[in-house]
């Protein structure tokens, strides 16, 4: 599984990355986490607001920071 956190490196993006790592650990899922900070790459996903989460090249959400509990639903 490849998980991408899209965002310019702001506080919210870092929080999403931390929550995602925690959710993956709690689920026992091994995944590669990539940070995408290039606006060109972010725009290629059709994202209008950050942070956003992409799992295996599918956009799961954008513009919010879900809780660890909610992230588990996106990652299973």
Residues acting as catalytic residues: 10, 13
CB 3 within 8 A of CB 75: yes
Question: What token pair was written down for 29?
Answer: 């899922």
CB 61 within 8 A of CB 3: no
- How far is the C-alpha of 26 from the C-alpha of 46, rounded, in Å? 30
- How far is the C-alpha of 33 from the C-alpha of 27, rounded, in Å? 15
């Amino acid at each position: 599984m490849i998980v991408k956190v899209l965002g310019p490196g702001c506080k919210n993006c870092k929080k999403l990355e931390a929550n995602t790592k925690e959710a993956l650990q709690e689920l026992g899922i091994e995944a590669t986490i990539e940070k995408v900070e290039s606006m060109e790459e972010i725009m290629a996903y059709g994202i209008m607001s950050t942070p956003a989460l992409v799992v295996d090249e599918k956009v799961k959400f954008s513009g919010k920071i879900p809780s660890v509990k909610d992230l588990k639903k996106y990652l299973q």
